[in-house]
Amino acid sequence: MKVLILNPPFLGRFSRAQRSPAVTKSGTLYYPVWLCYAAGVLEKEGFEVKLIDAPACGLQSEDIFKIAADFSPELVVVDTSTPSIYNDVRIAATIKEKFPGTFIILVGTHVSALPQQSLKISKNIDAVAIGEYDYTIRDLAIALRNKNGVDKVSGISLRKEEVIINNPLRPKIMDLDAIPFVSEVYKKHLNIKDYFFAASNYPEVQIFTARGCPFRCFFCVYPQVMHGHFYRARGAQSVAAEFRFISENIPQVREVVIEDDTFTIDKDRVQKFCDILIKEKNKLAWNANVRADLDLDTMKKMKQARCRLIIVGVETADQLILNNIHKGIKLGQIYDFFKNARKAKLLVHAAFMAGNPGENKITLKKTLRLAKKWLPDTAQFFPLMVYPGTEAFNWAKEQKLLISTNYRDWVTPEGLHNCVIKLPGITPEELVRFCDKSRRAYYLNPRYIFYKLKMILFNPQEARRAIKALFKFWKYVVRGTFPGR
């Protein structure tokens, strides 16, 4: 049986698989990582899989329809996102029109949060998967292959004539070591040179070593919609084995991005993983998402294991806002984090947000001052993005802060992040303007320019990444505004 797994086209290099889907100013394009994990599970089960990433390959709708005609799949899995949902449904529905015998299922955060609403967009959509869908898609494919019907497949909402049926939810996957390496799927189906992560050396690959996050940040979509707050992790040996696979089988990779919501939740596991890499003389650079409470000893161990950069959500310089968004971090911890990262000689990519509960023009200025004071290697400034299924979305809706309920407005016509909330005393345009001005003030800061020039001159390995990111990003820094605004 054949399964077509599709990341559909939308606005050029639209990065659908990241936590805030959009076309990025830095040129970053995420791997379709969750589709790839599902593809690996299907292939392990013996299914013939064709994985198509249209944004990475520059494919348009007509290209997809031709591929589907040539491949003749019985099951088509289509990824979605909030900004692209109407586009994604249109493409999926057209496949159904052209090939009526094909079963169409949508996956992703948006349809997980709004399964019934998503199914109502088009009668040509057979089902949506809710939450983690690796085994959901496998069981669906088995049911279709065996002609058993799909009524008993956990984790889906499906259309049955004019009625939408919600099957029981699927339990979270506990044994993550049983899932094939996603890097194996990349090697077989994708061209890694199509992908770029501005904070990483190029080319890179992205993997997950755990799912679920016990922390309660009110904006974070994956724990609230896809994976839950119960933390489940691969063993240190499994992760180290995937590093070996990458080194031996995809030798052009220069860095591994560990995309866990928080890689360092289990410090003992991190220590074991690092010890294995050190013992095996690992040559691969890597980076990971961490929290600002990460201790110096763990940072040093990670550096010894060739971690190059850590990614941290600072969000704001105001403690009340940190409390309001349930960050569970004190400002003093943030200051210590930057000090310790420098002691450990780890680069930092810091994420800052504008528009969280309690935000005002004074707190915005404090956040920019904090960024310029600690001078992380790279910094991002974004207005709060509220996605269905998150506490942030519910807060904005309940407080009547949403200026639009049309999901197309979650990005600009060019596909860049948009702002759809209006705070008391701050308009959406002012939040966008703050992020644009902060980005420009940060990257045109003489201290930062001097720091980067010194890095390029004395660290050739970093020069290629910095120049590539600068080339992609420069027009937005200079223009200082979102196109179309």
Digit-coded pLDDT (tens) for 108-150: 999 999 999 999 999 999 999 999 999 999 999 999 999 988 9
Number of structural domains in the chain: 2
Q: φ, ψ for residue 430 (rounded to 5)?
A: -70, -35
User: Are 62 and 114 in a shared domain?
Assistant: yes
Query: For residue 445, is it within any domain?
Result: yes
Query: For residue 78, is it within any domain?
Result: yes
User: Are 405 and 337 in a shared domain?
Assistant: yes
User: Are 289 and 377 in a shared domain?
Assistant: yes
Domain boundary among the residues 144, 166, 188 is at 166
Q: Lowest-confidence range among 36-45, 170-179, 192-201?
A: 192-201
Q: pTM for the complete prediction?
A: 0.94
Query: For residue 485, is it within any domain?
Result: no
Domain boundary among the residues 166, 188, 213 is at 166
User: Are 156 and 219 in a shared domain?
Assistant: no
Higher-confidence residue of 16 and 450: namely: 16
pLDDT at 93 over 80: yes
What pLDDT is recorded for position 454?
80
User: Are 252 and 134 in a shared domain?
Assistant: no
Domain boundary among the residues 166, 184, 212 is at 166
Report the distance separating Cα 65 and Cα 105, nearest Å: 16
User: Are 316 and 460 in a shared domain?
Assistant: yes
Query: For residue 180, is it within any domain?
Result: no
Q: What is the mean pLDDT of the chain?
A: 94
Query: For residue 68, is it within any domain?
Result: yes
Q: What would the mean pLDDT of 399-423 be, rounded to a whole number? A: 95
> In terms of residue numbers, what domain contains 86?
2-166
User: Are 400 and 344 in a shared domain?
Assistant: yes
* CATH code, domain carrying 329: 3.80.30.20
User: Are 398 and 264 in a shared domain?
Assistant: yes
User: Are 206 and 148 in a shared domain?
Assistant: no
* CATH code, domain carrying 113: 3.40.50.2300
User: Are 248 and 154 in a shared domain?
Assistant: no
Query: For residue 271, is it within any domain?
Result: yes
User: Are 96 and 154 in a shared domain?
Assistant: yes
Query: For residue 175, is it within any domain?
Result: no
User: Are 307 and 449 in a shared domain?
Assistant: yes
Confidence of residue 337 (pLDDT cuts 50, 70, 90): very high
